[in-house]
């Protein structure tokens, strides 16, 4: 009879964040497929789990998937974990789970931590709808393009970010999405856990004032702040974007979108009403 595949969530920092069931399943499984056997071994040693660890990662996942499926079909029970949190979420595992589903294998979740949910529930931003988009592109052009495509999204946006890119990302968020409530959750469940709230510029200034920016980050973005933003004169919004490095046309496009106006209307507003033409030297 075929065995089962368990998809097991593991801690994102604090080793105590694991369920009783996860520990039991990891102990009882015939093997544990891990991204990095050394990383997972630390967790297994902490809980006295001696189960064999098999490595799978982005680069060997397809071949490994076939091998793991064959084992399960022969009756073995396997557990899939990633280095931290929930496998498959910005982590490998999809190919194994997809192949198992295709093979008709029973797949059971063993739920637990994930940085995106941990960050969302402490953010103070709306939780009724959220849009998780994984890691933002490393290249600025692609990153800005993606942010633009999400400008009208009203759900809370959630991204993972690396410490060496957090400042660039906050700058792009401010430039493309305008003034919004931003939350940056750093090192959740760890010694230096912190949750920063404010505008992109405020959080950026707080991080930039540090000697070194390190740790793991989740960035959350609230929907556009319409009533408050509407009090700011259009010219000031455009100038602020230009000051942040956005070109004039792009700044007009962003402000038009935020104000629910067409580019033509924005252009008219900033050019002012057509007044009387005054000839040089004319008196009034």
Minimum Å distance from CB 209 to ligand SAM?
Answer: 20
Rounded distance, CA 269 to CA 273, Å?
Answer: 8
Rounded distance, CA 266 to CA 263, Å?
Answer: 5
Which residues are CB-contacts of 132 (< 8 A; sequence separation ≥ 6)? 89, 116, 158, 159
Minimum Å distance from CB 67 to ligand SAM?
Answer: 23
Which residue, among 3, 61, 66, 60, has the nearest Cα to 31 in the 3D structure?
3
Rounded distance, CA 92 to CA 84, Å?
Answer: 11
User: Smaller CB distance to ligand SAM: residue 35 or 258?
Assistant: 35
User: Smaller CB distance to ligand SAM: residue 139 or 264?
Assistant: 139
Minimum Å distance from CB 6 to ligand SAM?
Answer: 16
164 DSSP assignment: G
Is 42 in contact with 21 (CB distance < 8 Å)? no
In sequence order, which ranges of 124-262 are alpha helices (DSSP H)?
140-149, 166-177, 200-208, 226-231, 234-243, 248-259
Minimum Å distance from CB 41 to ligand SAM?
Answer: 18
Q: Coil, strand or helix: which one is 205?
A: helix
User: Smaller CB distance to ligand SAM: residue 68 or 218?
Assistant: 218
Minimum Å distance from CB 271 to ligand SAM?
Answer: 44
User: Smaller CB distance to ligand SAM: residue 56 or 217?
Assistant: 217
On the 0-12 / 13-18 / 19+ scale of CB atoms within 10 A, 75 is exposed
Q: Which whole-number Å values give the CA distances from 28 to 9, 93, 170, in the listed order?
A: 16, 20, 45
User: Smaller CB distance to ligand SAM: residue 187 or 202?
Assistant: 187
Minimum Å distance from CB 39 to ligand SAM?
Answer: 11
Residues that bind ligand SAM (CB under 6 A): 12-13, 82, 84-86, 89-91, 114-116, 160-162, 185-190, 216-218
User: Smaller CB distance to ligand SAM: residue 78 or 85?
Assistant: 85
User: Smaller CB distance to ligand SAM: residue 210 or 277?
Assistant: 210
Which residue's Cβ has the minimum distance to ligand SAM?
A: 85
Minimum Å distance from CB 18 to ligand SAM?
Answer: 13
Residue 160 φ/ψ, nearest 5 degrees: -95, 145
């Amino acid at each position: 009879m075929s065995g089962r595949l368990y998809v097991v969530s593991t801690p994102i920092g604090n080793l105590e964040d694991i369920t009783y069931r996860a520990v039991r399943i990891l102990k009882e499984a015939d093997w544990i497929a891990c991204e990095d056997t050394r990383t997972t071994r630390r967790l297994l040693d902490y809980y006295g789990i001696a189960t064999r660890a098999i490595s799978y990662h982005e680069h060997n996942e397809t071949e490994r998937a076939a091998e793991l499926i064959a084992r399960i079909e022969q009756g073995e029970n396997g557990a899939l974990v990633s280095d931290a949190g929930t496998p498959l979420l910005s982590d490998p595992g999809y190919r194994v789970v997809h192949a198992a589903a295709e093979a008709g294998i029973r797949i059971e979740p063993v739920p637990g931590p994930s940085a995106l949910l941990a960050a969302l529930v402490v953010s103070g931003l709306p939780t009724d709808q959220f849009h998780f988009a994984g890691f933002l592109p490393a290249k600025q052009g692609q990153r800005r393009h993606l942010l633009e495509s999400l400008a009208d999204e009203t759900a809370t946006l959630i991204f993972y970010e690396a410490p060496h890119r957090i400042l660039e990302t906050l700058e792009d968020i401010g430039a493309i999405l305008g003034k919004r409530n931003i939350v940056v959750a750093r090192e959740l469940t760890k010694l230096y856990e912190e949750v920063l709230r404010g505008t992109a510029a405020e959080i950026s200034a707080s991080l930039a004032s540090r000697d070194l920016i390190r740790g793991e980050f989740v960035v959350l973005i609230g929907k556009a702040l319409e009533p408050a933003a509407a009090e700011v004169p259009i010219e000031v919004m455009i100038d602020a974007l230009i000051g942040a490095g956005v070109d004039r046309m792009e700044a007009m496009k962003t402000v038009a979108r935020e104000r629910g106006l067409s580019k033509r209307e924005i252009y008219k507003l900033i050019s002012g009403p057509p007044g009387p033409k005054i000839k040089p030297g004319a008196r009034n």
